[in-house]
Structure 1
Amino acid sequence: MKKNWSNLSNSYKNSKIKVKLFITITLIMIVTLAFVLAGLQWSFALYDEQIYIKSSQVLIMSSNSIEEQLERVEEEVSFNIAMDPQIQRNLTELQGDVTGYDLYRIKREIVDELASYVGSEKYIQSIYLFDSDGREYLAGSSSEPMNEAKKYIYLQDASKLEGKNYWVIKDGSNRFLNSGRQIRSYENLNFENIGKLLIRVDLDKIVSDLPKINGEIAGNIVMSNGKDIFYSEKAIDDFKKFNFSAEEDEGYKIENIDGERYFVNHIKTSYEGWTYWSFIPFEPMFAKITAAKYLFIFLLMLMFVILISLGFNFSKRITNPIEDLVSACKHIQKGNFKIVDSLNPSLVYKDEVGILYRNFKTMVEQIEDLIEENYSKQLLIKETEFKALQAQINPHFLYNTLESINWQAKANQQQQISNMVEALGYLFRHSINFKEDIITVDRELEIVENYVTIQQYRFEERLIFHLDIPSEVMQCSIPKFTLQPLIENAIQHALEPAIESCVIKITAYQKKDRLFLRVEDNGPGIDPLLLEKLREGKIQTAGNGIGMKNIDERIKLSFGEKYGLRIENLSETGTAITIVLPFKRGV
Structure 2
Amino acid sequence: MLTRFKSAYINLGIHRQMLLLISVLMLGSFASYLLVLNTVYNTYDSQMYEKTSELLNMSSVEIENQLKDIENLSFRVVTDEQLQRYLSQLQQESSVYEKNVIRKKITNRLIAFAGSEKFVYSMMAIDREGEVMSAGNREGIPAVLRTDLIKLAKDKAGSNSWYVGEQGSLLAVRQFKEFSGSTFTLNDLGTIIVRIRIDRIVQQQMESSSGSQLIISNGQEIVYPAELAPPLDKEAISQELQRSQPYGVVTLPEESYFSARIQSAYTGWTYLHITPFDEMFQRMVWIKRMVTIVFIGIFLLALIFGTKLSRSITRPMERLLQKMRTVETGNLDQLGELTTDPVTASAQNEVGLLHRTFNRMLRRIRELIDENYAKQLIIRETELKALQAQIDPHFLYNTLESINWMAKVNKQTEISRMVEALGFLLRSSVNMSDKLIRLGDELDIVRSYVTIQRMRFEERLDFTIEVPDELLDTPIPKLTLQPLVENAIHYALEPKIEVCHIRITARLEQDVVQITVEDDGPGMTPEFLERLHQGQIRTRGKGIGLNNIMERIRLTYGPEYGLSIESEPDVVTAFHIRIPYEKGELCDVQSAVGG
Normalised to the residue count of structure 1, the TM-score between the two structures is 0.45
